[in-house]
Amino acid sequence: MALNEKIGTKRLVVGAHYGTFEYLAQRVTAIIMAVYTLVLLVGILTMSGFTYQGWHNLFTFTVVMMPIGQILGSLTMISLAWHAWIGVRDIWMDYVGHVGVRLFLMVMTLLWLVGSVVYFINILWRN
């Protein structure tokens, strides 16, 4: 009765619901990026001219003394990095068999994404 031993509270569950959080994170970050894309599209369509000041105002607009443009831009960049991390990490886990190479690629990907977010936020928030 080896088959019956795996049923009940002593059953070893492997892989069940481990991807739920990543699935939801992918969907939420995609929604954030889609909303920001629509905000940028509306901003571009209502921009008076394609000047430096117009582009600057597109990313640094304020609403009631709150830097909404910078907050939305930062949130979107963080969402983009998180979205990319989940996707690229899954690619490395699925297609790179050697553990050392996979770890190296994951660390390099993570460093690149964190560096990109820091660089973007530095550019967006400096005066």
Q: Is 52 annotated as a binding residue?
A: no
20-125 adopts what CATH topology?
3 helical TM bundles of succinate and fumarate reductases (1.20.1300)
**What pTM value is reported for the model?**
0.81
Place of tokens 């940028």: 40
Cross-strand partners of 13 = none
Residue-wise pLDDT tens digits, 44-102? 999 888 888 888 888 888 999 999 999 999 999 999 999 999 999 999 999 999 999 99
Mean pLDDT (the chain, rounded): 88
Q: Cα separation of 70 and 121, whole Å?
A: 8
Higher pLDDT, 30 or 6: 30
When pLDDT is cut at 50, 70 and 90, the band that residue 16 belongs to is low
Give me the phi and psi of 23, to 5 degrees please.
-60, -50
Contact 117, 78 (CB under 8 A): yes
Q: Is 83 annotated as a binding residue?
A: yes
pLDDT of residue 8: 59
